Chains A and B, each alone.
Chain A
Amino acid sequence: MNSTDHNGRTEQMEIDASAKWPVLVFFGSAVLWLILGGALELAAAIQLHTPTFLATCEWFTHGRLAPAAQNALVYGWGFNAAFAVGLWLMARLSATTLRHGGWLFVAAKFWNVGVTLGVAGILAGYSTSFELLEMPRFVTFLLLAAYALVGVWAVTTFSIRNTENVFASQWYLFGAAFWFPWLYAVAQLMLFRSPVRGVLQPVVNAWYVHGLYGLWFVPVALAAAYYLLPKILGKSISNYYLAPLAFWWFAISTAFAGGSRLIGAPVPVWIPALGTVANFMLVIPVVLIGLNLFGTLSGRYASLNGSVTLRFVLVSMLAFVLGAVFNFALSFRGIAEVAQFTLLSGLRDWLVFYACFSTAMFGAAYFILPRLTGHEWRSPALVKIHLGTTVLGVVLLTAGLTWGGWQQGNLLNDPALSFTDVSKAMTFWFTYRTGGLAVLLLGHAAFLVNFAFIACPFNLSGAAPAQINPPPALEVLKA
């Protein structure tokens, strides 16, 4: 028994060694984009309550700055982080090394050049003004080519797996690896290459945006949660037999849910209706996934004290449920009547992208990076700051913007109030939002410092290999 255990450890070390540099390069780019995107986002947020801020410079007018920030965060931070965590998870779970990792550097290079050109393009005035597809058309090919390399690596690693069984995380990663390029390519074709006419364009856009959040970012976050929870707790996923049902149900319903963004829009009414139905259907997989994840955690809440990763994953899981609740609630006509076009509709996507996906990536980083580099996190205080600001920021923004957004919707629906009065009343909430984003940015800066130390190859002070407690053995070793 001991020798298999030992073999397992050696194998893991080989896998980690093969994944080390690709993961560090992707994660390093991700963290830089997180800071840059966060700074742009903060500047755009300031403009909402101080319209003169950077207004004289055409490159930084709010209409360009806000989408540029969003694109930097989604394609810069989100994708790079998802690549890093996804590739490592796939290699670990398939019990095989990442072969020919050099190609992944090429992919990272192309991807980041693409995102840089795209964000600069938006600022320079080449935006298409389609949500999350604002980047000028010339970067599309660059992004798809770079993505193809990463996607092929993930799928190849999966197909040469040395394991009998395929774990839940692998389904989600495998699915996401295929869904993103299809969503992106179809959206590009139907909006730019041979554009559909009239209101079909917003339908395609809604389908893409919802798919990007629901079928790319959420699956990667779930894959991380499904892996990290049992690994850290030393306990298999409870009610695991429900996981396949949850996966398929989740995928099919999410794919149809995009129409719910168009309630009340001038499109055939069956499109939002279908989205509403899909969001109702999503209740079941969300409950099943909750049973899996929270069931695993139940009774072990004491372990949260010992693990930063677990705490980030817990935030992510709570946000996953809350994000589904928001999508569900915004599907009701009565609620959408007030909430759509306000801070609330932005909050819905932010919950999925930041509070669910990004926190899962932070958690995964705190787990993965010490294992890859053999270093410890340089400053436990900075880790605490990062965790503290993330929790604080997520709670502040979620609670505040829900309240503020609801108020905004009610003010907008009161025709007795002039639009200027609505703007004036909202100034407080826009300022509040700036504060929340600043808190988060502070945490990101703390994370950047720690990351720089752990990733630096000449890290002499922390040269002693980190003492990583081996994860507790699984209680149940069923196939």
Chain B
Amino acid sequence: MKNGLALFLGVFAALALSWAGLLLAAQQQLGRLGQFKDPTDDTLYPQPMSGLANQGRLVYQDLGCATCHTQQVRREGFGSDLARKWGQRGSYARDYIRDESVHLGSSRVGPDLRNAGNTELHAGVDAEYFYKLLYAPASVAPGSMMPAHAFLFDVHPVAGRQPSAQALKLPSKFSPGPGLEVVPTTRAQALVAYLQSLKDTYDYPIERSRNAPAEKPKEGGH
């Protein structure tokens, strides 16, 4: 190879091909994926995220939660995500169109969070649970290796003021001390609203049929 122009054109074509073949083609296929209107209850799914939850998504981004947590449920027969109660079904592409930024993640140092707020799977998981988990993980998940995110909370003395309605009810072992209360900051509130919004409970009829395993042909039926 001696010709610089030929080299340039080849180098250009190699990447341009993959851009067109991978990214453009995927955009063509999925770029206009919209909400699905359920014929029985006349509601659009996935339902949009609340404003507070969307702010929480930004906190999730800035704290880099995706470093250790995935947000994708693998379907039946590929891993045991469903048996681990990380979802009621595998995730569909349509689930993610409500998210302004999508962080599927690539490491499961921590559990999958796609259905972190799904109370059908995790009974009793409310805002208080997430606050405690963030402030002192061991207080609700003994043996957890998650780092505490105490910086998302204000700790101040109760004396001389009305106790905050949002103060965490911590067991004394994890409480910062007598006369002190732990109150979530607005960032913590947003993050917890986001975590609670993570639930793919609706099963889309189109996706279900499309992703179902193909029916086995009858024996001998060629």
Contact = CB atoms under 8 A, between A and B. Distances in A.
Given A66-B67, A129-B60, A199 B151 contact: no
A279 to B, nearest CB: 13
Contact of B101 (A47, A201, A413): A201
B148 A419 contact: no
Interface string B71-96: 01011001110011000001111111
Nearest to A338: B79
B27 A196 contact: yes
Contacts of A274: 21-22
A197 B31 contact: yes
B111 interface: yes
A252 B79 CA distance: 31
Contacts of A207: 18-19, 22-23
A326 B83 CA distance: 28
A340 B105 CA distance: 11
Contacts of A165: 2
A67 B17 CA distance: 30
Interface in B148-194: 148-151
Given A63-B63, A199-B96, A248 B10 contact: yes
A166 B1 CA distance: 6
A266 B91 contact: yes
B127 interface: no
Contact of A337 (B1, B78, B83, B92): B78
Chain B interface: which size bin?
35 or more
A427 B109 CA distance: 11
Interface residues of A, number: 85
Contacts of B75: 264
A179 B11 contact: yes
Nearest to A243: B1
Identify which of A49, A58, A345, A427 gathers the most chain B CB atoms within 10 Å of its CB: A58
A175 interface: yes
Interface in A57-116: 57-58, 61-64, 66-67
A153 interface: no
A198 B67 contact: no
A127 B64 contact: yes
B108 A412 contact: yes
Identify which of A47, A52, A178, A264 gathers the most chain B CB atoms within 10 Å of its CB: A264
A164 B1 CA distance: 10
A203 B15 contact: no
A153 to B, nearest CB: 16
B165 to A, nearest CB: 25
A204 B24 CA distance: 10
Interface in B110-139: 110-111, 137
B18 A267 contact: no
Contact of A413 (B26, B80, B104): B80
B interface, over-half SS: loop
Given A174-B7, A196-B31, A333 B2 contact: no
Contact of A166 (B7, B33, B110): B7
A268 B142 contact: no
A56 interface: yes
Nearest to B29: A268
A183 B22 CA distance: 13
Contact of A125 (B2, B62, B70, B137): B62
A183 B84 CA distance: 37
Contacts of B14: 175, 179, 248, 251-252, 255
B4 A159 contact: yes
A61 to B, nearest CB: 6
B44 interface: no
A200 B27 contact: yes
B79 A256 contact: no
Nearest to A416: B83
A197 B90 CA distance: 19
B118 to A, nearest CB: 16
Closest 7 A/B residue pairs (Cβ): A63-B64, A255-B18, A415-B83, A341-B108, A420-B143, A266-B91, A125-B62
Interface of B: 1-2, 4, 7-8, 10-12, 14-15, 17-19, 21-23, 26-27, 29-31, 33, 60-68, 70, 72, 74-75, 78-80, 83-84, 90-97, 99-111, 137, 141-151
25 contacts: A52-B148, A55-B147, A57-B151, A62-B67, A67-B67, A128-B101, A129-B66, A159-B4, A171-B7, A196-B31, A198-B94, A199-B102, A202-B104, A207-B22, A207-B23, A215-B15, A258-B18, A264-B74, A271-B22, A341-B105, A342-B107, A346-B107, A412-B108, A413-B79, A420-B141
